[in-house]
Amino acid sequence: MKLIKILAVVLMSVVLFSCNSQGVTKKSLNNQVDSVSYAIGLNMATNFKKNFKEIDADLFVQGYRNGVDSSNLLMPSIKTDSIIRAYMQKKQIEEQEKQKAEAMAKAEKEYADIKEEGEKFLEENKTKEGVQTTESGLQYIVLKEGTGEKPTATSRVKVHYHGTLIDGTVFDSSVDRGQPAEFGVNQVIKGWTEGLQLMPVGSKFKFFIPQDLAYGAFPRPNGPIKPFSTLIFEVELLEVK
């Protein structure tokens, strides 16, 4: 992690720019070593301000000095790595969640019409003959009922499928490629994972998958599927591995 590396560099270089043993701070740069020492301190401070604003400078210096003379330790030195790592991981997760929330808010605003169109489509579709709706909101029609075994979430399956948007745009099709697909049932979107477990081998179902059971706000970048798209798949279950 970036900040841990910064901390490690600081711990090695702090002796170059910390106060001398009498606590007197230099006021000028008299040679190259002075300049490099000051530059390292200035660089580290800038990085701390950017990446670790919460740092307590007094405790940082105290920790360094205690480590040098191995006395008055407030914690065993063996714990330092795990404490730093746990904190940085927490900060990283918080930052990722913040970024995701910001991206979600942006997508909600930019693609609100697609989300609304999908919801309207599903609301009308669920009243059509043959359409069944699960508790999660997944809709499906049984086009052909097979007689084989049903896969579980941990199964591997072989299928043919044809995927479209609600306007009929084809975005993916093993049928068009002429090559069945194989994958784990729990390695695909939620709508597929749920739907496949309803199908005996030999079946062909048509799934109408709400955006929250598909790719939600984060489909593959620059692909044909836009954020919050409702997806339609015709799926034929050929084999359970």
List active site positions: 161, 171-172, 189, 215, 233
Quick one: CA dihedral 146, 149, 152, 158, positive or negative?
A: negative
Residue among 193, 195, 224, 225 at smallest CA distance from 211: 225
DSSP secondary structure letters along 90-159: HHHHHHHHHHHHHHHHHHHHHTHHHHHHHHHHHHHHTTSTT-EE-TTS-EEEEEE---SPPP-TT-EEEE
- From residue 139, give the alpha-carbon distance in Å to each of 10, 49, 92, 183: 58, 51, 38, 22
Residue among 240, 238, 180, 183 at smallest CA distance from 205: 238
